Amino acid sequence: MQARIVTLPGDGIGPEIVAEAVRVLTRVAANCGHQFTFEEALMGGCAIDATGTSLPTETLAACESADAVLLGAVGGPQWSDPTAAVRPEQGLLQLRQHFDLFANLRPVKTYPVLAQHAPLRAELIAGVDILFVRELTSGIYFGERMEQGEGDHAWDTMFYTVEQVRRVARVAFEAARGRQGKVASVDKANVLASMRLWRRTVNEVARDYPDVELEHVLVDACAMYLMRNPARFDVVLAGNMFGDILSDETSVLAGSLGMLPSASLNNGRFGVYEPIHGSAPDIAGQGIANPIATILSAALLLRHSLQLEAEAAAVEAAVEAALASGARTADLAPVPAEAVSTTAFTDLVLDHLH
Ligand code: IPM
Ligand code: MG
């Protein structure tokens, strides 16, 4: 098949890890007879420096004509003033809104060979395989807000329509069907009106999925259960802000933030794929970043935007095989001197890619 992929390497370690994921995709294309073309565009701090805005119109235009977008990470100390008029994360939020990427998938899997790096006991994290489905284009992130310079008050609004909840809930229930058949819907229905609408709507959608088991979990309790017994969860469905918080909390179970990929999808096949970690400016340019999260994001791109399930699974298997060989990047190496570089780890992934 032919596919056009736009890469947005961004800032910090972004360019290093995106380059490795592109190498993996290029090898997949060669192995399986596909033609992938790559086009790089600016987003984030590097775009602010070059054009004054974090999501330039040329970047949006490039993404519009692409089948999928692979993003590195944005941000860094030089753009981190939260009161600045132009900030790197604005580009990310605009990209999500522009393409209506309402469904954010964040799989969290634990690898037995990395159990020693997780902050919980090995028996608690054994078999953890959670899929977060986070609503990404509404909720408190995009509700009305009021902020006046040095004013003495400010507010944000958590807003949901029935249709916004319905469509992301359907994504969660559909995903559960291909997994363990369980959805935990996260809300704060005991306090918030928008979350009562959330619960009511999820219940309504659940009627179309009698084969899927649904439980409602209040967000505070959910944060606790995720640490006490993470293996009990299958699909976790959450609104924008709660999903943001809980997915970061749970990511530590995988042993390193450098492990976790994500997909942000709209109703079509278009998606933006990115590691859930940030731009790690402290280690940028040293060639030591863990490329796994970005390589696994490329696997999600193959699966969801290009419908290449076998190729996606082959990439995931190659990452597992590379880990099983004992190679570790610096974030995971018990002895720093034994760590392999970003490129060397990817070489191993390529060796195992069939
Ligand atoms: C994420 C990030 C973003 C978010 C930030 C950078 C705006 O934390 O993708 O989880 O809060 O959505
Ligand atoms: Mg986040």
Per-residue model confidence as pLDDT tens digits over 296-328: 999 999 999 999 999 999 999 999 999 999 999
| Residues of the domain holding 325 | 1-102+261-354
Q: Give the pLDDT mean for 6-10.
A: 98
Q: What is the pLDDT of residue 101?
A: 98
Based on the domain organization, do 12 and 90 belong to the same domain? yes
Q: Is the pLDDT of residue 336 over 90?
A: no
CA neighbor of 293 nearest in space, from 305, 278, 304, 309? 278
Based on the domain organization, do 24 and 125 belong to the same domain? no
How many structural domains are present in the chain? 2
Ligand 1 cavity residues, CB under 6 Å = 89, 92-93, 244
Q: What is the pLDDT of residue 61?
A: 98
- The arrangement of strands across the sheet holding 182-187 comes to 35-40, 2-10, 68-73, 271-275, 261-265, 103-109, 129-135, 235-238, 182-187, 213-218
Tokens (6 digits) for 271: 């998606």
Tokens (6 digits) for 158: 């958590």
Catalytic, 220? Answer yes
Q: Which of 11, 160, 188, 234 is catalytic?
A: 188
**Ligand 2 mean position, distance from CA 240 (Å):** 10
Q: Which residue has the tokens 């995931």?
A: 316
Crossing angle (nearest 10°) for helices 309-324 and 14-32: 120
Q: What is the pLDDT of residue 292?
A: 98
Share of the chain above pLDDT 90, in %: 94
pTM score of the predicted model: 0.96
SS3 for 200?
A: helix
**Ligand 2 mean position, distance from CA 34 (Å):** 33
Query: Does the residue 92 lie in any domain?
Result: yes
Neighbours of 157 (CB within 10 A): 12
Tell which of 208, 239, 254 closes a domain. 254
Tell which of 207, 238, 254 closes a domain. 254
Based on the domain organization, do 90 and 143 belong to the same domain? no
Query: Does the residue 130 lie in any domain?
Result: yes
* Separation of alpha carbons 108 and 117, rounded Å: 15
Q: What is the pLDDT of residue 335?
A: 87
* Separation of alpha carbons 260 and 296, rounded Å: 7
Based on the domain organization, do 268 and 331 belong to the same domain? yes
Q: Give the pLDDT mean for 259-268.
A: 96
* Separation of alpha carbons 134 and 286, rounded Å: 33
Q: Is the pLDDT of residue 83 over 90?
A: no
Q: What is the mean pLDDT of the chain?
A: 96
Under a CB-based contact definition with an 8 Å cutoff, are residues 353 and 302 in contact?
A: no
Based on the domain organization, do 29 and 78 belong to the same domain? yes
Length, in residues, of the chain: 354
**Ligand 1 mean position, distance from CA 246 (Å):** 12
CATH of the domain at 168: 3.40.718.10
Strands (E), 208-275: 213-218, 235-238, 261-265, 271-275
> CA–CA distance from 291 to each of 46, 226, 311, 332, 348 (Å)?
20, 26, 18, 12, 12
Based on the domain organization, do 165 and 237 belong to the same domain? yes
11 band by pLDDT with thresholds 50, 70 and 90: very high
Query: Does the residue 136 lie in any domain?
Result: yes
Q: Is the pLDDT of residue 62 over 90?
A: yes
Question: Atom of ligand 1 at shortest distance to CA of 241?
Answer: 11
